[in-house]
Structure 1
Amino acid sequence: MITLQLVSTKKEMQGVLALQQANLRKNITQEEADAQGFLMAEYDLTFLELLHRASPGIIAKDGEQVVGYSLVALPETARHHDLLADLVENIERCIFDGKPVENYAIVAQLCVSKEYRGQDLVQKLYGSFRDHYADQYTFCVTDVAQANHRSLKAHKKRGFQVIDTLDYGGIGWDIVLWDWHKKAAQES
């Protein structure tokens, strides 16, 4: 049985890192990247511990095995990683509904193990992410490589909308935002 929870142990963070390594763009074939999606940012245990202290990530576990995760970064912690710092800089120049994007949490990374894809875990991870953080933040923001069609489709299905684009390392990225308060008002 798959359970969702906040990250609570170093062993779980190590499970996140193992799943991350298995899905980094540099560690998979082009065919797999095209069909299944991929991760670009590589984190280490020290950085995960920094993220965890400020805002624990959400994990999906099957028994003791981490089979999916959604990492949470706040702007101040994101600035400790080059890729995320660049994202924060770009978010800070974005305008949404005529106003600057403020009071947001960042999806620092989301991944589901290959064996568990197609079970709606991305949507469940995002639902749990929102359940834990929507009372503190207005928006959830991340970026998705434009070449990662599977990921962009999953984000749009959840309610994210593209608010800007950027180029990083020769790759085009869409900055996507999920307006939690608008969604909450629609659900009421």
Structure 2
Amino acid sequence: MKITYTTSKITEELAQILVLQQANLYRNVSTEEKLAEGFLTVEHSLELLKEMNDVCPHTIAIDEQGNLAGYAMSMHPSFKDEIAVLKPMFEVIDPLIAPEEKYMLMGQICVSKNHRKQGAFRGLYTHMKNELEHDYDSIITEIDALNSRSMEAHKAVGFEEMVGYHANEQEWVVVRMQL
């Protein structure tokens, strides 16, 4: 199946991101699925997703039928106070990042169930990297330490571990990809 990678431009695409997000949130998937397929932790509102997109468009994957196959959210560090669950991450990484380093936070990545294991994860990051490499030095994200599928996938596309920490009764691992 052919997948096209681009950036989100219209509200309908943002709404599709939220539908895919809901289907893959931690509370909406079984324990077996969490282990086998991974899961999402953060839930966004359409308003916040649009504000984030206005600063730096999200990367999306569209299949041949025009359906959303996946997304990788771009979250500029200026949004660090907008999502409570992410505040501890910024407290941990801010002292570790050189003042001159310009980075984009990959706010969340998700591939729909019927598009997994077809290269969409790698395709999303390849497109995101190509879009950001002229203005940013790196992409940073955090992963729930229990989400081994996500950890493996991120390492496979070039992310390296920065730091681990404990917050909100969870263990987190922050990873970075140099651009």
In the superposition, the TM-score normalised over structure 1's length comes to 0.90
User: What is the rounded CA distance, in whole Å, between the counterparts of 1:36 and 1:80 in structure 2?
Assistant: 28
Q: Identify the residue that residue 127 of structure 2 maps to in structure 1.
A: 128
Structure 1 segments of 4+ aligned residues over 6 angstroms from their partners: none
Q: Identify the residue that residue 110 of structure 1 maps to in structure 2.
A: 109
Root-mean-square deviation over aligned CA pairs: 1.4
User: What is the rounded CA distance, in whole Å, between the counterparts of 1:29 and 1:100 in structure 2?
Assistant: 41
Q: Identify the residue that residue 20 of structure 2 maps to in structure 1.
A: 19
Equivalent residues in 2 for 1:1-188 (5 A)?
Answer: 1-62=2-63, 63-94=65-96, 99=98, 102-180=101-179
User: What is the rounded CA distance, in whole Å, between the counterparts of 1:89 and 1:50 in structure 2?
Assistant: 22
Structure 1 unaligned regions, length at least 5: 181-188
| Alpha-carbon distance, 1:80 to partner | 1.4
**Bigger shift: residues 168-177 or 105-114:** 168-177
Whether the aligned pair in 2 keeps the contact of 1:19 and 1:113 (CA below 8 Å) is yes
**Bigger shift: residues 17-26 or 70-79:** 70-79
User: What is the rounded CA distance, in whole Å, between the counterparts of 1:101 and 1:82 in structure 2?
Assistant: 26
User: What is the rounded CA distance, in whole Å, between the counterparts of 1:87 and 1:101 in structure 2?
Assistant: 19
User: What is the rounded CA distance, in whole Å, between the counterparts of 1:2 and 1:152 in structure 2?
Assistant: 23
Whether the aligned pair in 2 keeps the contact of 1:92 and 1:101 (CA below 8 Å) is no
User: What is the rounded CA distance, in whole Å, between the counterparts of 2:24 and 2:76 in structure 1?
Assistant: 23
Residues 124, 101 of structure 1: CA spacing in aligned structure 2 closer, same or farther, 3 A cutoff?
farther
Paired residues in the alignment total 177
Per-residue CA deviation, residues 27-52 of structure 1 (Å, 9 max, x unaligned), is 01111001100000000101101101
| Alpha-carbon distance, 1:85 to partner | 3.1
SS of 2:161's equivalent in the other structure is strand
Structure 2 unaligned regions, length at least 5: none
User: What is the rounded CA distance, in whole Å, between the counterparts of 2:119 and 2:41 in structure 1?
Assistant: 22
SS of 1:70's equivalent in the other structure is strand
**Bigger shift: residues 81-90 or 110-119:** 81-90
Residues 30, 60 of structure 1: CA spacing in aligned structure 2 closer, same or farther, 3 A cutoff?
same
Whether the aligned pair in 1 keeps the contact of 2:72 and 2:106 (CA below 8 Å) is yes
Identity of aligned residues (%): 31
Whether the aligned pair in 2 keeps the contact of 1:94 and 1:101 (CA below 8 Å) is no
